[in-house]
Amino acid sequence: MEPITIFSLEQSPDVADVERRLGISRRDFLKFCAAMAATMGLPAGAEAAIAAAVANPARRPSVIWLHFQECTGCSESLLRAEHPTLEKLILDVISLDYHETLFAAAGHQAEAARRAAMAEHKGKYLLVVEGAIPTKENGIYCKIGGQTAIDMLKECAADAAAVVAIGSCASWGGMPSVGPNPTGASSAGAVLGKPVVTIPGCPPNPYNFLSTVVHYLTFGKLPALDHLGRPKFAYGRLVHENCERRPHFDAGRFAGEFGDEGHRLGWCLYKLGCKGPETYANCPVIGFNDIGEVSWPVGCGHPCIGCTEQGVGFTKPIHALADLKSVKPPLGYPHISEPRGSGASLAAVATVGALAGAVAGATWAINRNLGEKLEVEKTQPEHEAKS
């Protein structure tokens, strides 16, 4: 049996059904799957597996999506994406069985639907957590249906196949956890006491979430994670490494203040407090909402604030200098505008000529004297030469 290729799937009935459901052409859908495989660094052939898995409506995983201390910006990032099909694809790839913001149902009906989905898909559903969990005073600062966020999270996580913390608030506490942290806001992993998949960002890029879910859907496992639970394909490199302003950093060209000449010319924002040198994320690589390079803070002319990193985002002052991790500015920089050379004047040529003549004359004299000395040594008896 020949292996399935992405080209052979173009005439697949399932891919044709995707075209009908989402209003996206088959070719664009397959190109999207190929791009997703490349983004995750998967080997050749993975794009066909992704396309087959995504196009199969029977493989949609059940998703329980919880909201706690947050601004709903993570959900908005997914649903307000400017890509013409991304938000549709997200909702088509997963079976969103509980989401307080998107539910038509409310109150007891919504909670009944959540528990029914958990029972039906026990051990198989994905739990997505958006927002920090307040832990002080036994969690009284956040309740849903009379149940504290702590109790609801633990109940839903008990039978989940995987727990995904989306956004910085759920991943490491985010803005609610900044001192003095009156509610004791904590991450999902800290409350559960075990590692979870974290997709930090304020908000995170929707492609990072979609790619993580698609990887799970296709291969039955989560993508490779770093020591903080972040997918390596999205958080494996510093922002600084792929920043379009990196050449200016290497050349010593920095904007000194907002609106100055360097800022207008797109020079490096390190001196304005850019946290790219200490922040791991793929923002400069894929941008947001498919509208080009300007769709992330540095592209818009503002320093990266390090929202994906605990202890950086919402903790360090925005304009404080970043701690350089893997890169250092060189000790000496070339001038921003190197002066151009000009032709030598007659006086300069004469001076150089005179110096060269003097050096040549001195060299001749030294060689002559050295030659005479050698000749004398040759004619003298050995005992006289030594004396």
Q: Where are the domains of the chain?
A: 1-59, 60-235, 237-330
The pLDDT value given to residue 198: 97
Question: With respect to CATH, is domain 237-330 assigned 3.40.50.920?
Answer: no
The pLDDT value given to residue 342: 52
The pLDDT value given to residue 202: 94
pLDDT of residue 45 exceeding 80: yes
For residues 9 and 55, the answer to whether their CB atoms sit within 8 Å is yes
Residue 166 φ then ψ, to 5°: -105, 130
Whole-model pTM over 0.75: yes
pLDDT of residue 273 exceeding 70: yes
78: confidence class by pLDDT, cuts 50, 70, 90: confident
181: confidence class by pLDDT, cuts 50, 70, 90: very high
pLDDT of residue 243 exceeding 50: yes
377: confidence class by pLDDT, cuts 50, 70, 90: very low
CB under 8 A, 24+ apart: contacts of 155-161: 156/64, 156/66, 156/114, 156/118, 156/127, 157/127, 157/188, 157/192, 159/118, 159/122, 159/123, 159/125, 160/64, 160/123, 160/125, 160/126, 160/127, 161/61, 161/123, 161/124, 161/125, 161/126
The pLDDT value given to residue 128: 96
Mean pLDDT in residue range 30-40: 85
CATH superfamily for 60-235 is NADH:ubiquinone oxidoreductase-like, 20kDa subunit (3.40.50.700)
More confident site: 30 or 320: 320
The pLDDT value given to residue 220: 87
Write down the residue that tokens 């919402």 correspond to. Answer: 314
The pLDDT value given to residue 1: 43
**Weakest-pLDDT range from 70-74, 102-106, 234-238, 264-268:** 102-106
How does 360-375 read in b/e, with b if 16+ C-beta sit within 10 Å?
Answer: eeeeeeeeeeeeeeee
224: confidence class by pLDDT, cuts 50, 70, 90: very high
pLDDT of residue 75 exceeding 60: yes
Mean pLDDT in residue range 173-189: 94
The pLDDT value given to residue 3: 60
Query: Annotated binding site, which residues?
Result: 71, 74, 169, 202, 240, 243, 268, 274, 283, 304, 307
The pLDDT value given to residue 19: 80
Give residue 368's identity as a one-letter amino acid code: R
The pLDDT value given to residue 165: 97
Query: Annotated binding site for [3Fe-4S] cluster, which residues?
Result: 283, 304, 307
pLDDT tens track for 340-350? 555 545 555 45
For residues 150 and 191, the answer to whether their CB atoms sit within 8 Å is yes
For residues 49 and 218, the answer to whether their CB atoms sit within 8 Å is yes
Query: Annotated binding site for [4Fe-4S] cluster, which residues?
Result: 71, 74, 169, 202, 240, 243, 268, 274
pLDDT of residue 296 exceeding 60: yes
pLDDT of residue 31 exceeding 50: yes
For residues 158 and 118, the answer to whether their CB atoms sit within 8 Å is no
Report the mean per-residue pLDDT for the chain. Answer: 83
The pLDDT value given to residue 366: 47
More confident site: 41 or 192: 192
Residue % of the chain over a pLDDT of 90:
47
